[in-house]
Structures are given as structure tokens and as C-alpha cells.
Amino acid sequence: MSATPDATGTEATASGWHPLCRSADLRAGAEAVPFEVRWRGHVCRAFAVRYRGGVYGYLNRCSHVGLELDWQPNRFFDLTGQWLVCAAHGALFDPASGRCVAGPGRGPLQAIEMREADGWVYWRSRYDLQPV
Ligand code: FES
């Protein structure tokens, strides 16, 4: 078992990449891995999912009226496993792009850049998205 990458290390700080979880913690069709971010000054929930081998991250904030999407804690996929579904009014989103494909969504989900390296998953901060 390898040690947790140092989230405050020089490399992470300089590049904006923050360790989230082990790659094995994100499995297709399983629960998402939740995390918190400061988005535009407000603490928001976010989540990461695995889909078709890739890792994708989004703010847990629907583009319809800003409610959290999960229909059970950390469950975002619909029964087909193909779409992210908002529990409030049923908007469907493409897991790979965040694009709204059906329902009342008003645009895509707010994407968070993700990457995997050495068995770990990282998310990337930016000017409007910071660690809590
Ligand atoms: S808040 Fe998500 S569909 Fe309405």
C-alpha cells in the first residue's frame, strides 16, 4: 500500500492537482467518491465517477435549479448506467462531458478536471474552484 500523495507538496500546489482517492476506489457502476470544494467562494459538494474506464468530476449542483443530483448518497447513475440523473426533476447528463441530454437542465454540469497517476485520482483547482 502506497502512502497518500502529499496534497500540500510543492508539486501539487504549483500544478493545482489535489489527491482525491485511490484509483481502485472508483469503480464503474459503483458509488461516486464525494469531495468538497470552494466554488466561487461557497463550499460545495463535488463528486467523481468512473465511466468507460475514465474518471470524471463535477460539482454536485444541477444546471436546472442548483440542487444536488444524487438520488441516494453518492449514487448518480440512472438504472441504465449510461447517464447521470438528477433526483429532483430527472435531468440526464452525459457522464463524460456533463452535457445535458434530456430533461430540464439548463446547460452542462460544472466539470472538474481529473487525472489518474500511479494508482491515485487527482482533481485540479482553478481560479474559481479551490480546496476547502
Ligand atoms: S434540479 Fe436537477 S432537474 Fe431540477
Tell whether 6 is covered by a domain: no
pLDDT (0 to 100) of residue 10 = 47
pTM (two decimals): 0.91
The string of pLDDT tens digits covering residues 26-62 is: 998 889 999 999 999 999 999 999 999 999 999 999 9
Distance 59 CA to ligand 1 centre (A): 14
The string of pLDDT tens digits covering residues 58-70 is: 999 999 999 999 9
Bridge partners for 22 per DSSP: 120
Q: Could you list the residue range(s) of the whole structural domain that residue 92 is in? A: 18-131
Tell whether 62 is covered by a domain: yes
Tell whether 2 is covered by a domain: no
Q: Atom 4 (ligand 1): residue with closest C-alpha? A: 89
Strand-strand pairing, 111-112 and 54-59: antiparallel
pLDDT (average), residues 113-123: 96
Q: DSSP per residue over 17-46, as a string?
A: EEEEEEGGG--TTSPPEEEEEEETTEEEEE
Distance 117 CA to ligand 1 centre (A): 34
Tell whether 8 is covered by a domain: no
Q: Which residues have CB under 6 Å of ligand 1?
A: 62, 64-65, 67, 86, 88-91, 103-104
Task: Give the chain's domain count.
Answer: 1
Bridge partners for 129 per DSSP: 39, 126
**CATH code for the domain in which residue 85 is found:** 2.102.10.10
